[in-house]
């Protein structure tokens, strides 16, 4: 029985992988440029870097808008790129264009959206994780990892510090009435100012509920409350 179950699972994986490969072939059969080969991704880094540029290292099956079949993807939080892997373990980057703007991870149902948004760095076009959305307001999270440079030992008394990938604090963004997403206010006062006609309602919410801009669950619940206005 166990052997039969294992064979069934293996067969299912082979079928899914084969379908994913056909999708990869179909994506660019007319030279549309949906995928492009990233040679850096297909080579081992010469420099030893600690940590990972991925929140999830494994490739996972996902649905991509504009693509009829599921394919294997993962998100690089350093380069802000969606990587696609074929059955030969070759890695390609998904171009940041319509219609490939919504990626849904099958196992977690997590939705990643390609959006224009305004950050402290200026106007950006990149991937944000959708945490809540309705017709009036949407909440997104930006996952980001940076490369921290290493330091060589100047002499025998010093220890070399290797380069490492470091995850930085999550950033949250609000999109109101489908407008360009903007940074989540940094404090309660700024949040009330963003919704001037509902200051009293928001103040009452703060009074009756525990709220922290450092807690994702708290931010989601606050956004849901605002969506009822």
Strands 49-50 and 163-167: parallel
Angle at 43 between CA 41 and CA 48, to 5 degrees: 95
3-62 pLDDT per residue, tens:
444 444 333 333 344 444 444 554 544 344 566 565 555 444 445 789 999 999 999 999
Helix axes 199-208, 216-226, angle to 10 degrees: 140
Q: Is residue 222 classed as helix, strand or coil in its secondary structure?
A: helix
Neighbours of 75 (CB within 10 A): 22
48-104 pLDDT per residue, tens:
789 999 999 999 999 999 998 899 999 999 999 999 998 888 899 999 999 999 999
pLDDT of residue 116: 96
Q: What are phi and psi of 159, to 5 degrees?
A: -105, 130
Q: Is residue 36 classed as helix, strand or coil in its secondary structure?
A: strand
Peptide bond connecting 99 to the previous residue in cis, omega within 30 degrees of 0: yes
Q: Which of 109, 113, 120, 167 is nearest to 139 (CA)?
A: 113
What distance in Å separates the CA atoms of residue 87 and residue 69, rounded to the nearest whole number?
A: 15
pLDDT of residue 129: 99
What distance in Å separates the CA atoms of residue 221 and residue 229, rounded to the nearest whole number?
A: 14
141-162 pLDDT per residue, tens:
999 999 988 887 777 777 878 8
* 145 neighbors 168 (Cβ within 8 angstroms): yes
167-222 pLDDT per residue, tens:
999 999 999 999 999 999 999 999 999 999 899 999 999 999 999 999 999 999 99
What distance in Å separates the CA atoms of residue 139 and residue 157, rounded to the nearest whole number?
A: 50
pLDDT of residue 223: 96
What distance in Å separates the CA atoms of residue 226 and residue 105, rounded to the nearest whole number?
A: 27
pLDDT of residue 152: 79
pLDDT of residue 24: 52
């Amino acid at each position: 029985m166990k052997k039969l179950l294992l064979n069934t699972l293996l067969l299912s994986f082979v079928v899914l992988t084969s379908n994913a490969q056909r999708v990869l072939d179909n994506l660019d059969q007319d030279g549309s440029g949906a995928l492009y080969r990233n040679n850096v991704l297909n080579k081992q880094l010469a420099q030893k870097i600690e940590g990972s540029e991925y929140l999830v290292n494994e490739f996972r099956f996902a649905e991509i808008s504009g693509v009829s079949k599921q394919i294997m993807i993962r998100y690089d939080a350093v380069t802000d790129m969606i990587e696609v892997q074929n059955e030969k373990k070759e890695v390609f980057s998904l171009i940041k264009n319509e219609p490939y703007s919504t990626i849904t991870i099958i196992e977690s149902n997590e939705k990643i959206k390609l959006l224009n948004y305004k950050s402290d760095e200026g106007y950006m076009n990149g991937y944000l994780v959708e945490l809540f959305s309705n017709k009036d307001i949407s909440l997104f999270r930006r996952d980001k990892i940076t490369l921290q440079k290493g330091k060589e030992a100047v002499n025998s008394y010093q220890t070399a510090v290797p380069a490492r990938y470091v995850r930085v604090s999550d950033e949250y963004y609000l999109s109101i009435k489908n407008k360009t997403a903007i940074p989540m206010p940094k404090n309660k006062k700024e949040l009330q100012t963003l919704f001037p006609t509902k200051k009293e309602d928001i103040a009452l919410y703060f009074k009756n509920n525990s709220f922290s801009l450092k807690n994702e669950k708290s931010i989601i619940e606050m956004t849901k409350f605002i969506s009822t206005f």
